[in-house]
Amino acid sequence: MNFRQIEFYNTPEGDIMVKPLGEKASLLAVGNRDIISTMLEYIYTYYTEAHKALADLYSDRKRNRIYFDFSIVSRFIRCNFGEYDQSQCDIDRNSHFSFEEVKCPLRGTGDCPLENIVCRPKFIISLSLRELEVYRLIVQNKKAEDIADQLSISKHTVDRHRENIKGRLGLNNIPELITFWYTNKLH
């Protein structure tokens, strides 16, 4: 399965449906190893706090690795991508997540110990402090020359940092950088 342009949604029975753009929806099941392993890798890499919390929550299932992985992925999806939305995929064409405000009776009550850890998780990126500084200024709509002057570095270095940021995040252009910044609450 291509891990791009995918919509997830919960059924009233609590099942998770997977709908790649232009294809029919199918039930997410334990045997969907391609999507489960890809999602698990993304969660482990970019949402480490969520992964750790879910691994601890489902630690009693570790003996059955396939079911353990499925449990982590299905809970992450249920908490972040539960509504069917025809206007925007939950996983976009660059394989980035677009979280939704999922209806949950525990959200906002203080009763869910996983709130803001699994639902609305914090995105972890591996950018250097200088790259984050450059990124912040790009998002503020500063030109490369102005960023270079402000940080006392060359324009060439600013351009190199921008390209490194785009490469690490799998982004193609400045509008995608800005959208990614605000979508993942990096400010």
- 154 contacts 120 by C-beta, under 8 angstroms: no
pTM above 0.85? no
Residue 138: CB atoms within 10 A of its CB come to 21
- pLDDT value for 84: 86
- 114 contacts 122 by C-beta, under 8 angstroms: no
- pLDDT value for 184: 72
Over residues 75-116, the pLDDT tens digits come to 999 999 978 887 888 888 777 788 888 877 777 777 888 888
Over residues 1-29, the pLDDT tens digits come to 567 789 999 898 889 999 998 899 999 99
What distance in Å separates the CA atoms of residue 78 and residue 182, rounded to the nearest whole number? 22
- 117 contacts 50 by C-beta, under 8 angstroms: yes
- pLDDT value for 129: 81
The structural architecture, per CATH, of the domain 129-183 is: Orthogonal Bundle (1.10)
Per domain, the residue ranges of the chain are 1-124, 129-183
Phi, psi of 155, deg, nearest 5: -60, -40
